[in-house]
Amino acid sequence: MTQRFAAESTCSTARSRTPYFPIARSRRGDCCSARPNEKLEATRYHKDNLVRIVQSVSSVVPESVARNAKQALVQDFTSGIEKEFEAFLMQGKASLDILVKIFKPLFGVSLTTFGDAGGKVKNAVRRNLATTNPERTRRLENLIIQHEDWIGKWFTQERTTVSHYRALVHSGVIYGPEEGGGAKTLALPRTKDGFLIHEVAVSVYGKLWVSVRILSAMLFPSGFHRLLT
């Protein structure tokens, strides 16, 4: 049975623009250098490149495989789709890592990374904000819990694997003969779980965009979050 990684309804919004995240300032007036919107833009760049490559190989069989694909099935691993997906995962994780640095000027909480699916953030929030601002603590924890499954799957497990251990395991693009003596695209690359890689990227980027937007509204309740709409 063919599996499909369903894109969330938020993806149409996510494609429209990368959200702008305001610069945070501490009470001393120090400017936070963390700019998550720049990493989000890089994440979207690789997502868009991936989709563009998929559209290209879906419509035109590359000359490098066309001759062989007219006679037999050809499994091609040179399309660049998997490389763009690996870059997408690394930039997406970097977006989260930079995002949590904003906690320093806002709350005096130092975080170097987002951690494994936000575990570091939850612990830091509980230690530093639970007494002074229990409502914000609860909302931040709930937000992380709502998103920890997909963050843990793609930006912790898969991103760590491709960054430190081995390349992405995928099915490649499969070409084969078509009636009339030509060649055509039969299948697009899937992850080891059977999901179409480009659908994963579109869906995960949509979720990332929305989670950053919601978090900004929590961190900047005075109205800065309207910049993201």
At 63-99, the pLDDT tens digits run 989 999 999 999 999 899 999 999 999 999 998 888 8
pLDDT band at 221; cut points 50, 70, 90 = low
pTM listed for this prediction? 0.79
What element of type H or E holds 187? strand 182-187
Q: Which amino acid is at 182?
A: G
Rounded Cα distance between 211 and 200, Å, is 16
Q: Which amino acid is at 88?
A: F
No. of H helices and E strands in the chain?
9, 3
What is the rounded average pLDDT for all residues in the chain? 79
Determine the length of the chain. 229
The confidence score (pLDDT) of residue 65 equals: 92
The confidence score (pLDDT) of residue 170 equals: 85
Contact of 109 with 136, CB cutoff 8 Å? no
Q: What is the pLDDT of residues 174-189, one digit of tens each?
A: 999 998 889 999 999 9
The confidence score (pLDDT) of residue 36 equals: 66
Least confident of 16-25, 135-144, 193-202: 16-25
pLDDT band at 33; cut points 50, 70, 90 = very low
213: Cβ contacts below 8 Å, ≥ 6 apart: 19, 225, 228
- Percent pLDDT > 70 in the chain is 79
Beta pairing class for 182-187 and 74-76: unpaired
The confidence score (pLDDT) of residue 23 equals: 44
Q: What is the pLDDT of residues 117-158, one digit of tens each?
A: 777 888 887 777 767 778 878 888 888 888 889 999 999 889
The confidence score (pLDDT) of residue 227 equals: 38
The confidence score (pLDDT) of residue 222 equals: 55
Least confident of 30-34, 37-41, 93-97, 218-222: 30-34
Q: Which of the 8 DSSP states describes residue 29? A: -
Q: From the centroid of its chain, how far is CA 7?
A: 12
What element of type H or E holds 75? strand 74-76
pLDDT band at 2; cut points 50, 70, 90 = very low
> Residues 15-29: what's their mean pLDDT?
46
> Residues 38-51: what's their mean pLDDT?
94
90: Cβ contacts below 8 Å, ≥ 6 apart: 159, 162, 163
198 CB-side CA count, 13 A: 19
Q: Which pair of tokens denotes residue 203? A: 């869906």
Q: Which of the 8 DSSP states describes residue 23? A: P
Rounded Cα distance between 44 and 182, Å, is 35
Rounded Cα distance between 111 and 126, Å, is 13
pLDDT at 159 over 60: yes
The confidence score (pLDDT) of residue 163 equals: 81
